[in-house]
Amino acid sequence: MSRDSRRLVAASIGVFFLAAGLPAALLHGLIGGGETKQLTAVLTFIGVLVTASVSLIGLMVNHQAERRLAQEQNERQRQLRLDAAMRAGQLFSPTESGPAHPAAMASGLLALTRLDHSDLAVALLVDLWSEGAEGVSDETAILVIDAALRSASPNSQLVAAELLCRNARRLSACQSLHWPSAVDGFWNPSFKPKTKLLIIDALARMTKEGPSVEGALRSIAVRLYGIWRDDPDEHVRGCIGKLIKALVPFLHGLGYQEIIHGAQKVMVSDLERAAASAAENPDGYLDKLSTQLANDLKGWAQNCREQPSAPGALATAAV
């Protein structure tokens, strides 16, 4: 290659690298010196750079295509869930023979919870699970409430807690299907304050309105302890400690030191530690209400001598 040809190639390469941001010193050496080795090295570098650029562009195009495909799949899934939710809602529509069948309504509610529409399911439950309009069973209602309490929606959690408290008197503390598993010895400390108070109120009302049996005493002790153990709020722990303190003397009367309830195992010594944290609430209104609940539970627990005999009594001691 003649000197002029090399300079022409070098000048062309220089323009390319100038656009690519190549250092000016290298450009000067390339154009001014025109050395064959230097030109060969630059041409090799160009090949590497072009190959890398093509690979990078390919990766970017592939990434964008994958992201677009994922978005389309998510949109299709969202649309399928929405269509399924609408079909589930049709199960609540009256038929030619009259209102929708309870089994159909139960299926619709549970389908909505499976489709991540627990907010809609618990909203429908307001009209289906109330005095005088018992469209679904207590067990179905508790499954819907459980799904709403497990959801990430504070509004769904609040509605579920309100329904649980409103219907607490119709539930049995000795029936595992009558209490949401989400708060059966477990607790979500991120619940809003009103949701927490409604659940605690529901637990106390369900227990003191029911029969004074040993199984119910064990159940409320473990459920209250789960709240006390998992909630970092000192005011909540002080309130729960007050309720547990009202029960501890009667737990001693059971004659054993270990309580197994569902998946939880609690020692009486753990309950004594919780009872020691009992404290007054700075809100006088809440303090009076919690004291009244503790006194009600104490009066209820005084009669807990009868051994449970209802179906499922043995299962309450399963771990």
- Which band of pLDDT confidence, cut at 50, 70 and 90, is reported for residue 319? very low
- Which band of pLDDT confidence, cut at 50, 70 and 90, is reported for residue 127? confident
CB 42 within 8 A of CB 50: no
**pLDDT tens column, 168-214:** 999 999 888 999 999 998 899 999 999 999 999 999 999 999 888 88
Alpha helices in the chain (DSSP H): 3-20, 24-28, 36-89, 102-114, 118-128, 138-150, 154-166, 193-208, 214-230, 234-252, 268-275, 284-301
Q: What does the alpha-carbon distance between residue 292 and residue 152 come to, in Å, rounded to a whole number? A: 32
Determine whether 222 is exposed, middle or buried from the number of CB atoms within 10 Å of its CB (0-12, 13-18, 19+): buried
Average pLDDT, the chain: 80
pLDDT of 99:
61
The answer to which of 64-68, 216-220, 255-259, 290-294 has the lowest mean pLDDT is 64-68
**pLDDT tens column, 35-51:** 566 666 766 767 777 77
More confident call, 28 vs 293: 293
User: Domain-by-domain residue ranges, the chain?
Assistant: 3-67, 81-88+101-166, 168-319
pLDDT of 27:
47
More confident call, 157 vs 6: 157
Residue 19 clears pLDDT 50, i.e. is over it: no
SS3 261: strand
pLDDT of 2:
53
* 183-206: b (≥16 Cβ within 10 Å) or e: bbbbbbeebeeebbbbbbbbbbbb
Residue 121 clears pLDDT 80, i.e. is over it: yes
- Which band of pLDDT confidence, cut at 50, 70 and 90, is reported for residue 18? very low
The answer to which of 26-40, 132-146, 148-162 has the lowest mean pLDDT is 26-40
Residue 159 clears pLDDT 80, i.e. is over it: yes
Cβ-based neighbour number of residue 162 at 10 Å: 18
Give mean pLDDT, residues 287-303.
Answer: 93
pLDDT of 215:
87
- Which band of pLDDT confidence, cut at 50, 70 and 90, is reported for residue 81? low
Percent of the chain topping pLDDT 90: 43
**pLDDT tens column, 85-118:** 555 555 555 555 556 667 777 878 888 888 788 8
Q: Is the dihedral of CA 82, 88, 92, 94 positive or negative?
A: positive
Q: Which residues contact 59 (CB under 8 A, 6 or more apart)?
A: none
Residue 276 clears pLDDT 80, i.e. is over it: yes
